[in-house]
Amino acid sequence: MKTIAIISGSIRTGRLSHRVAVFFERFIKEKGLAEVVMLDLKELNFPLSEERLKHLPNPSEKIIHFSESIKKADAVIVVSPEYNSGYPASVKNAIDLLYDEWYRKPVGIATVSDGNFGGTHCMIMLQTVFLKVHVSVVPATFPVLLVQKNYDENGNAIDKEKTEKRAMVFMAEVLKSVG
């Protein structure tokens, strides 16, 4: 069975995008689509990276775990909130920490906003950054608008049927990208 790593990108108090990461973790498991590894950047609590992992003299166990999880995963889903038309520093920090681990790794992007645009500015920026580090960006995306109205605090979709239908289309592309 394939392994999907999910990066939950927000580290803020009261974060809403984590609801979508939890939704995908549960959805993938319940549908038997893949094994799942949740990489919650809030829990990992990386320091601001001064250098890429391969140049760090004494990387923490959390950084090593993150690196190995990305390396072993068949694909990655990044769930990122949109902050001021961009992505949070925590996401950029996690991307820049690694390099070789990202090479040709299939990455699906889910962006989240509390407004009506679903993080589309963030999505475009993430696609650009991932292309620069030679990621194989999955063509399907999963924008989530009005997250506070569409997911509860436990990651349950309010309109389960519609959300799962969209999620299945997105996941089909993610899984297709791993062969």
Looking at the structure, give the CATH architecture of the domain made up of residues 3-177. Answer: 3-Layer(aba) Sandwich (3.40)
DSSP state of 23: H
Neighbours of 32 (CB within 10 A): 8
| CA distance readout (Å), 151 to 21, 40, 72, 116, 159 | 11, 18, 30, 15, 8
- The residue extents of the domains of the chain are 3-177
Q: Does the global pTM surpass 0.85?
A: yes
d(CA 175, CA 4): 9
* pLDDT over 90 (residue 173): yes
* pLDDT over 80 (residue 51): no
The pLDDT tens digits of the residues spanning 117-152 come to 889 999 999 999 999 999 999 999 999 999 999 999
- The three-class DSSP label of residue 107 is strand
d(CA 88, CA 174): 23
Percent of the chain at pLDDT exceeding 90: 88
d(CA 160, CA 95): 31
pLDDT value, residue 157: 97
140 CB-near residues (< 8 Å, 6+ apart): 108, 169, 170, 172, 173, 174
d(CA 16, CA 22): 11
d(CA 176, CA 179): 5
